[in-house]
Amino acid sequence: MTATDTTFWDERHRHIRTHIGKWQGGHDVRVRGRWLLRELLQEVSITQLAVFNITGRLIDKPLASWLEKTVFFTSYPDQRIWCNQLGALAGNSQTSPVAAAAAGILAADSRAYGSKVQYQTVLMLSELQEAYAAGAGFAELVARFPLRNGVPSIPGFARPVKIADERLEPMRRFSAELGFVPGPNVNFVEGLAEHLRVHHQADMNAAAYACAFLMDQGFSALEVYRIRTADVLSGVLACYVDLHDQPAQAFLPQTCTDVQYDGVAPRALPRSL
Amino acid sequence: MSSPTEAATRPDFTTSICLEQPLPGNPYVAERRYISGYNVADLWRNCHYCDGLLLLLTGELPSQPQRRLLEMLLVGLLDPGPRHPAVRAAMLAGVSKSGPEHLLPLGLLTGSGQRGGALEVENAWAFINSHLQNDPAALAALCLAEARPTPGFGSSFGAVEPIWQRLAEDLVAVMPEQPVLNWCRDFCRVLHGQNQGWLLPGLIAAVGLTLGLDARKCLGLWQLAIAPAVMAHGMEQTHKPISSNALLRDDQYDCD
């Protein structure tokens, strides 16, 4: 048998090489070329530190404030929201809060809501922007998407015009208050939303605006996904706490027939088994 | 922190479960793997899944009654039902389009608690183990009279869970001389008078104790036992529209 060249793995065998960070016991911690205790502790907020850890970018305080405020929109403590239902079930089962938080965050890694939607929305907006810049009109762009209930199914724009997203106006307002001027991506989604309102009775939701804003700030789809990982956390934990000390089986108790069975009718095992 | 010489020679872990023998010329690849001394190839050619599972957990292959006991338990717990919190969590996540790779872990996380979850199994193990020398009927009467906690035993929606009682009877019949199962059966007979009896965590703990598993392994065995249902029910929901699990309306939700 020919020996395999294992140099790549040998170089990493019991040896870590990284630019990310290193605890230097009794002294300080290196974080992407900066000192955590001597420098960053005095200079930055937890959000600035998180974005620095995740992306390597040391963002300024207004952008950190913007990110913090948008978490208000992604962590509603409403027990009907799916990830929060997991928090409530976990609380009523008296799991650890960490298990509840992890379960809720995993649930929100969803194609329908939460962090993955923002990742997909940034990717989609990038493609649409590219086509728009190449001369495609809004009607042509919208035609790329299938209709669902007569409305184009575009990530970030699944909002009937009758029920405006309550988060949009506050988001526009605090963006301006923090000194941000709409960039090309925000202007693009505002234009697309206007087209949808006029022609399709649809509107954008807060995810489209927030993703476009973050694109204008230079973040990639993967960076948005990573920064937004735990956005639902406080809502999940609020529901966890509410149910934790309530009696067992208190969260939306279900009868046997609340789950409708549509499978094969009860039958005997085959004799040959 | 260890010296460079110590660090170079000290193993990363020690384990008495698994031995891997390296492929000549590439020490990162295993040519043979052994579980408690048995070549895995011999195991997959000759053993039942439960044999291998108990070998992993105890270091020895089980007797035929031990294998039957575990197999019956695992089949009995294949599906604790779609309303079990761990299963329900996976179904909720599945229908709301969470990543399918997350359904099993998030179900097990949601169902890891002290009420009907993995931590109750651990507590049930400790409860049973610490009282095996006590008269079960007298202890049950005392627990009822003083409303003492009885992890692993109790009521569900105010009633005895008939399915778990039937499974327990069948488990006892597999190893009728086994003292742990008999102790729990006698304990439950008194509880039944107050609409209480075996709960799922108690079953796992009693069988685990019978098979010589410690509390932590019983906790893990419970997670393994319900994993098929968590996975299957969660995956089934991924194919359904999110609207099939409609959110409660505002008039069904009060918040002052």
ipTM score here? 0.91
Q: Which among A233, A268, A265, A239 has a CA at the least distance from the CA of A104?
A: A233
Minimal-distance CA residue of chain A relative to B25: A3
Q: What are phi and psi of B128, to 5 degrees?
A: -65, -45
CA distances from A114 to A76, A84, A118, B4 (A): 12, 12, 7, 46
Residue B186 has pLDDT above 80, yes or no: yes
Question: By the 8 A CB rule, do B162 and B156 touch?
Answer: no
| Nearest CB to A95 within list B92, B109, B156 | B109
Give the best residue of B79, B96, B119 to mutate against chain A (max A CB count within 10 A): B96
According to DSSP, the β-strands at A202-203 and A159-160 are antiparallel
Instruction: Go through B40-67 and write b for each residue having 16 or more CB atoms within 10 A of its CB, e for each that does not.
Output: eeebeeebeebbbbbbebbeebbeeebb
Strand partners, A147: A152
Which pLDDT score is estimated for A156? 85
3-state SS track over B39-79: EHHHHHHHCCHHHHHHHHHHCCCCCHHHHHHHHHHHHHCCC
Token pair, residue B132, equals 């095996």
- Residue B130: pLDDT band (50, 70, 90) is very high
- Residue B2: pLDDT band (50, 70, 90) is low
Which pLDDT score is estimated for A195? 95
Share of chain B above pLDDT 70, in %: 99
The sheet carrying B38-39 orders its strands as B18-23, B26-35, B38-39
| Nearest CB to A112 within list B242, B248, B253 | B242
Q: What is the pLDDT of residues A130-188, one digit of tens each?
A: 999 999 999 999 999 998 878 888 988 877 677 889 999 999 999 999 999 999 999 99
Which pLDDT score is estimated for B109? 98
**Which residues in chain A are contacts of B25 at CB distance < 8 A?**
1-4
Q: Which residues of chain A have pLDDT under 70?
A: 1, 160
Residues in A whose CB is inside 8 Å of some CB of B read: 1-4, 6, 9, 14, 25, 78-83, 85-86, 89-90, 92-96, 99-100, 102-103, 106-113, 116, 248-249, 253-254, 256, 258-259
Which pLDDT score is estimated for B196? 97
Token pair, residue B241, equals 């529209």
Asked if B26 lies within 8 A of A103 by C-beta distance, the reply is: no
Chain A: nearest CA to B226, how far in angstroms?
15
Asked if A107 lies within 8 A of B25 by C-beta distance, the reply is: no
Which pLDDT score is estimated for A272? 81
Which pLDDT score is estimated for A33? 96
Mean pLDDT of B134-160: 97
Distance CA B115, CA A93 (A): 5
Give the best residue of B12, B75, B83, B98 to mutate against chain A (max A CB count within 10 A): B98
The length of chain A in residues reads 273
Q: What is the pLDDT of residues B72-112, one digit of tens each?
A: 999 999 999 999 999 999 999 999 999 999 999 999 999 99
Which pLDDT score is estimated for B1? 62
Query: Packing angle between helix A46-55 and helix A61-71, nearest 10 degrees?
Result: 100
Which pLDDT score is estimated for B106? 98
The amino acid sitting at A212 is: A
pLDDT mean across residues, chain A: 95
Which pLDDT score is estimated for B154? 97
Which pLDDT score is estimated for B3? 74
